[in-house]
A and B are shown apart, each in its own frame.
Chain A
């Protein structure tokens, strides 16, 4: 069974990959069909993921773990929202309200907390690791924040030139990191394509 799974996965991967490189309608059509199948299977996977989420939280409640009540609230909210969504449709004003009055404010609040969290993490950086790189990281981060800060007199004199100077290094560094990540992604993809790593069906 595992050999069949691997054969299908490798063949599908190769066909989709070839679709990017070879200008032939047959290969592109097959690649497109496989991608469509993947999207449909992905949608069903989301359903399985949600069922998994319900199981995990019900288990948490059943085992009387800390915060078990929150799990019950989560599952109830999930069932109610899904039920009303199916009955009324996603464009119904009540459903829009569930998004605008609950999801958007909660995510905005988390975003606000994130700002404080990041400032706090930066302050603690030197307590965690005192080395040259950490000092440079912190000095640059604070300098950039000061340089982009709005002031009553507008932009600080010379700030744009300084920002351009700092950005030269940060852009170079970012490109270096992204190139490394691209190479890593390529080699990881090849390992899966060769069937060496088989996250589908195990190895």
Chain B
């Protein structure tokens, strides 16, 4: 019941921030990777190039599905913003359910922009079900589809190194974020502007997905401070020798 109580409190906190953000939009701190992302979206439309969004291999039967959901929110915004382009973004993933959702999300973006006829079902692709099959299927997209920027947001393992190398060989921009620590360190070493940890979940807010995404960030900030205080308090209590 304590766990349920915590979830309910977090939900209430989230609702409070949604109400607050609807009245006054949040001021977001500058994150260079998202500046670059917004610039790349504009450039792709102007230059007639394509964006490649990789949602990784996470699925909804594991705790790793959250990062794919965050990626889908970004897909929705990017599809909407690039709907005027004659080269729609390509979304790849290593899970069939997420592929279907990425197609549906892209279509929603086009519909919202009033350009549903531009949507192609092949814009959402499942490239492979095992880690290396996924990498092997994703690498050629950077080369063959006139991709100017690769946005990798999701659950990947060491195979992220191969995907990153493929993007680098084409001199295309790479923006990478993962909930997996191995992939995180690869992106840190190989991308121009790395995203660290929970910044992955801020992608929607920075892409202009609305007040609910900003409210999520506010709630995360508050919860993070509560955790920090709890951990420091716990350490202090242990230090002075109190036991519960």
Contact = CB atoms under 8 A, between A and B. Distances in A.
Interface of B, secondary structure class, is helix
B63, B100, B196: which has the most chain A beta carbons within 10 Å?
B100
A115 to B, nearest CB: 9
A191 B201 CA distance: 12
B186 A121 contact: yes
User: For B70, B132, B186, which residue has the most chain A Cβ atoms within 10 angstroms?
Assistant: B132
Interface size grouping (class) on chain B: 35 or more
Interface of A: 17-18, 20-22, 38-39, 41-42, 45-50, 52-53, 55-56, 59-60, 65-67, 70, 103, 106-107, 110-111, 113-114, 117-118, 120-122, 124-125, 128-129, 137, 174, 176-181, 183-192, 194, 196-197, 199-203
Contact of A179 (B14, B72, B132, B227): B227
B84 interface: no
Given A66-B144, A110-B136, A202-B105, A121 B122 contact: no
A69 to B, nearest CB: 12
Interface centre among A39, A125, A184, A194 (most CB of B within 10 A): A184
Contacts of A21: 1, 3-4, 7
A122 to B, nearest CB: 6
Interface string B144-186: 1000000000000011011011001000000000010100101
B190 interface: yes
Contact of B69 (A67, A70, A176, A199): A199
Interface in B1-21: 1, 3-4, 7, 10-11, 14, 18
A178 B165 contact: no
Contacts of A17: 7
12 contacts: A53-B126, A67-B140, A117-B162, A118-B158, A120-B165, A121-B168, A121-B189, A177-B198, A184-B66, A194-B14, A197-B212, A199-B105
